[in-house]
Amino acid sequence: MSVTSIVKDREAKTMTVTAEFDAPVERVWEVWADPRKLERWWGPPTYPATVEEHDLTPGGSVTYYMTGPEGDKPRGWWKIVSVDPPHQLEFDDGFADDAGNPNPKVPVMTIRVSLEALANGRTRMTIETTFPSPEAMDELLAMGMEEGMSAAASQIDELLVPEPQVG
């Protein structure tokens, strides 16, 4: 399994995903640094990404849109904070309106990518997502971290099972 851990830390307002790949650091870096590779994994198969701008330098931008099954095209952007190939990349990650302008109603997350060489040519990738505010954290994650909620959610899921799936 590639994902080795996912840790959500409410205090620090972060979610950290750790994964390991059977490929050297330089190769893993390419999936971020090569826009054609990036667009093969950033969006899910139902929402493939098309990367337009791709400037991985401090202050530089990455802009993209995803194409949904109904032709909808949600747009997003990165603003590069810092970059140290092939080990570190930090950027703000936000959504944009149809004209490509940042959407202020959606919280902006900061994503820090770290690539670390392991033995046998393997690489550990750590993705730390930091949320800007407790409210944004609430919106996106807070409940996921509460065992009580997870329990309630699974109970609720059980209650929902016999019902016909709506959406």
Residues engaged in binding another protein (CB under 8 A): 2-3, 6, 15, 17, 19, 21-23, 27-28, 31, 37, 40-44, 46-47, 66, 74, 95, 105-107, 121, 125, 127, 129, 135-136, 138-144, 146, 148-150, 152-153, 155-157, 159-160, 163, 166
Burial 44-60 (b: 16+ CB within 10 A, else e): eeeeebebeebebeeee
Q: How far is the CB of 47 from another protein (least distance, A)?
A: 4
Torsion of CA 143, 148, 149, 150, to 10 degrees: 100
Q: How far is the CB of 132 from another protein (least distance, A)?
A: 12
Q: How far is the CB of 147 from another protein (least distance, A)?
A: 11
For another protein, the closer CB: 37 or 61:
37
Q: How far is the CB of 45 from another protein (least distance, A)?
A: 8
Q: In what order do the strands lie in the sheet with 61-66?
A: 3-9, 14-21, 123-130, 109-117, 88-96, 75-84, 61-66, 49-54
Q: How far is the CB of 155 from another protein (least distance, A)?
A: 6
* DSSP symbols for 74-118: -EEEEEEEEEETTTEEEEEEEEE-TTS-B-TTSPPEEEEEEEEE-
For another protein, the closer CB: 21 or 102:
21
- For 137, the token pair is 């954290």
For another protein, the closer CB: 11 or 59:
11
Tell me the C-alpha distance between 150 and 143, whole Å.
8
For another protein, the closer CB: 58 or 121:
121
For another protein, the closer CB: 15 or 83:
15
- Which residue matches tokens 């307002």? 13
